[in-house]
Chains A and B, each alone.
Chain A
Amino acid sequence: MQSLTLPLLVILGLTITGYFLAKTRALQVAGGDIRKLVSLPKQHALNTVLATAIPPLAAIVLFSLYRRLAEAEGSWLFTLVVIALAVTGFALSLIGIKTESRARTFAERWIMGLLIFASTIAIMTTVGIVFSMLFETFNFFEQYDWRDFFFSANWSPNFRGNSDLGILPLLWGTLYISFIALTFAVPIGLFAAIYLSEYASSRMRSVAKPAIEILAGIPTIVYGLFALVTVGPFLRDYFASPMGLGQSASSVMTAGLVMGIMLIPFVSSLSDDIINAVPQAMRDGSFGLGATKSETIRQVVIPAALPGIVGAILLAASRAIGETMIVVLGAGAAARLSLNPFEAMTTVTVKIVSQLTGDTDFASPETLVAFALGLTLFVITLGLNVFALFIVRKYREQYE
């Protein structure tokens, strides 16, 4: 940290002086007559500022990455290089000020470079995600057999070693909870969307639509607390206990139900868009043949919108699979393969949290397994997303 203070101060100083020097020098070159200049003095100034600041800053970023990779220490040589870069940019851009020099074009090239750099950050994020997880997953599979990870039905980590780390019970819990959430959210979301776009008066629409969207804006921790404090005990006292299905407040049903509530606005707003995109002419044709409104919706609108709706459901499924806080607080921590929805089960995301919080040792398979779980989660959700986006896009092209 300290080694950066001096270069940063030098860069800051040079850019500020550069700005004013370039302005005066541009006027000087033109002999005080601004009309003789091809570029305005402020454009020369901007060019000087960018030429002074960007190369050394880029060098600092590159070098700090390199230093982590090669584990080299920061040196005075590096400081010198950075300062030299700043001074060079400063001097060259000031010397380059002539009446006919096109400072605006040069400045815009620097800005263009910055814009391109910014747009690659999204790519770098993805690359970072994939590589960080791949790297640790390889470390994990060096210590733990991949067949046991993917095909073992037993999850019992033990920080003294000899753990069973089978993903199957976690995947089962994840899919079971997502399935319950979707069986709850899809019909409600879909019917709500149909009602809002086909039946509701504009006044009702203006009230109900934002109200449903409030559900989408509520953070998932709020749903988690709701599951823990309200829904879990309610289900236990009124359903699970009387029916003799279990005594646990945290259960697949609790998490699934609350996650279903969270997904309603997601399903309904996506389906709403898609239903609205079905051309009115198709409805009118159906009405002309004597169909009622519900017959039109069931036999014309929904089939036409089906690919989009399937896409929306897949996106909702990917949300459900990757959801963390609701299952952490609502589903429990016991890994088991069971059909009883009132039993506590656990999911991939819950185990990622539990293996990576608290005391972690990045050499032991019990910690590293979280990266393998994360990668599995990433691959599943990515697959669902790509497939869903593909379907939605393909559908949109039909009517445009």
Chain B
Amino acid sequence: MSTSLLTTDARTKKRNAAEARFKAYGLGAIIVAMFALVILLTSVLGNGLSSFKQTFIALEVELPEDKLDKSGVRDLAVMSKVTTIGYAPILRNALLATLAEQGIETELSNKEISNMISKEAAATVRNRVLGNPDLVGQTVRFDVLASGRIDGFFKGRVTMESAALDNNTSPEALEIAQALADAGIMQTKFNWNFFVWPDASDQRPEAAGIGVAILGSLYMMLVVLCLALPIGVASSIYLEEFAPKNRWTDIIEVNISNLAAVPSIVFGILGLAIFINFMEFNQSSPLVGGLVLTLMTLPTIIISTRAALKSVPPSIRDAALGVGASKMQSVFHHVLPLAAPGILTGTIIGLAQALGETAPLLLIGMVAFVREYPAAFTPESGLFGEASTALPVQVYNWTQRADPGFVERASGAIITLLVFLLIMNAVAIYLRRRFERRW
């Protein structure tokens, strides 16, 4: 019996099916990976984009002299005796007056009305008044923060059903908020202050920002850049250009590739034991954080710098030596400038890695609650010695808080972090494209 060449036999069919299956597995794997990336990014963006907007209430606040300035002569010492507790009723009265003016009737108690305004608002008004005592006695327009629950209502986080179960707000309060929003008095608008404000306490997620965290991260990146780049480049030059092939340099090389794979938390333990317990640097200071991150990024920078140095062809070195340069001159005058784009790219990628690192910073005390903007230098604590926090640690910190408003803040901080990373990587890619040479 003969079969045509054009009909495939059973065995070939089976083999072809296996081929198609195998290919489908591969494609499936890539689709799963892409899907994971998309889900991850949508989850973060979905949770976090709302943190860039914030609900404010426009209030005409009457600042009565008899409450705020007992002295009557704008004496700051007397005025600052009135704490935020004294300012809260003034804000509440202003809100009640606004409600009456708009014809919105309410049966809510005074406390519930107060709860609609952020606890931070009283401090804002107080600071404004102490900064400009002449405001006392006038009626001034303030854009004060609405409380976290009201803000959550406009962002869809708080609903009528959840409010009914909540001690901090009620469906009636939300209805009033809706009426105020319809009247244009309550507005949800872009909130620049998120990038400027420091962290806030547990009860006021609406006032929390990442100002201190960005500053702390910036300081640490400066420390890392100033230490890791020169040390990394110097040690790469030695290993790549000068080191004799012997046991000692072998040890250094194995050691560097192992350091690159040591878990980051181990560097945190090192920082705690050496920099804080032994050298007695300040806890949670950007200096210690920067030192730890320097040690962590050093292997990355060394590995990429060595690759960049290696890619410079030996003829360049030979030409320099041929016209009478010393070995050192050939390296510093010719090889290093040609390798610079590669080194820069590697450094930026190392910095991006350091910027997102969290675990070692937890151990050196950067989880502390910091509301003061750290100074770059003070005589008491030295360079970068003041307590600070960092962007990724701030995210961790907020995930540990009870109020669900902080999840939104954490996601917002992450979006900011990712934008920074995106910019750094884009710059690295641009530099590589623009200056890369093929010999």
Contacts and interface: CB of A to CB of B under 8 A. Distances in A.
A325 B358 contact: yes
Interface size grouping (class) on chain A: 35 or more
Contacts of A190: 29
Given A229-B43, A352-B265, A357-B363, A222 B258 contact: no
Q: Give the 10 A-B residue pairs with the shortest CB-CB distance, closest first.
A: A322-B263, A219-B356, A195-B26, A132-B273, A191-B29, A118-B234, A294-B22, A119-B235, A324-B359, A115-B238
Interface stretch (A29-37, A89-97, A207-215): A207-215
Contacts of B257: 389
16 contacts: A115-B237, A117-B234, A119-B235, A121-B231, A128-B274, A135-B273, A192-B33, A195-B26, A212-B33, A215-B37, A222-B418, A225-B414, A294-B22, A319-B263, A324-B264, A377-B263
Interface stretch (B156-164, B190-198, B391-399): B391-399
B18 interface: yes
A219 B417 contact: yes
A62 interface: no
Determine which residue in A117, A198, A221, A385 has the highest number of CB atoms from chain B within 10 A of its CB, and name it. Answer: A221
Nearest to B270: A129
B242 A112 contact: yes
Interface residues of B, number: 87
B135 to A, nearest CB: 42
B238 A119 contact: yes
A353 B258 contact: no
A315 B363 CA distance: 25
Contact of A218 (B40, B256, B273): B40
A382 interface: yes
A356 interface: yes
A188 B29 contact: yes
Nearest to A380: B263
B265 A187 contact: no
Contact of A226 (B25, B40, B256, B328): B40
Contacts of A1: 382
A132 B263 CA distance: 16
A54 B392 CA distance: 38
B255 A122 contact: yes
Given A122-B299, A195-B29, A292-B19, A261 B40 contact: yes
Nearest to A116: B238
A220 B357 CA distance: 7
B28 A191 contact: yes
Interface of A: 1, 64, 68, 104-105, 108, 111-112, 114-123, 125-126, 128-129, 132-133, 135-136, 187-192, 194-196, 198-199, 208, 211-212, 214-215, 217-226, 228-230, 261, 264-265, 268, 292-295, 297-298, 315, 318-319, 321-325, 328-329, 349, 352-353, 356-357, 362, 370-371, 374, 377-378, 381-382, 385-386, 389
A327 to B, nearest CB: 10
B326 A322 contact: no
Interface in B266-315: 266-270, 272-274, 277-280, 295, 298-299, 302
A212 B35 CA distance: 10
A133 B266 CA distance: 9
B40 to A, nearest CB: 5
B100 interface: no
Contacts of B410: 225
Given A122-B255, A219-B355, 4 more contacts: A111-B328, A118-B235, A217-B425, A292-B18
Contact of A374 (B18, B266, B295, B367): B266
Given A1-B382, A322-B266, A132 B29 contact: no
Interface of B: 15-16, 18-19, 21-23, 25-30, 32-34, 36-37, 39-40, 43-44, 47, 230-232, 234-235, 237-239, 242-243, 251-252, 254-259, 261-270, 272-274, 277-280, 295, 298-299, 302, 326, 328, 352, 355-359, 362-363, 365, 367, 382, 392, 395-396, 399, 407, 410-411, 414, 417-418, 421, 425
A208 B407 CA distance: 31
B26 A215 contact: no
A76 B259 CA distance: 39
B270 A128 contact: yes
Determine which residue in B25, B261, B295, B399 has the highest number of CB atoms from chain A within 10 A of its CB, and name it. Answer: B261
Nearest to A65: B279
Contact of B19 (A211, A225, A268, A294): A294
Contacts of B230: 118
B30 A129 contact: no
A133 B252 contact: no
A337 B268 CA distance: 27
Given A208-B34, A225-B411, A194 B43 contact: no
Determine which residue in A129, A136, A219, A371 has the highest number of CB atoms from chain B within 10 A of its CB, and name it. Answer: A219
A225 B399 contact: yes
Given A208-B30, A225-B44, A371-B273, A125 B298 contact: yes
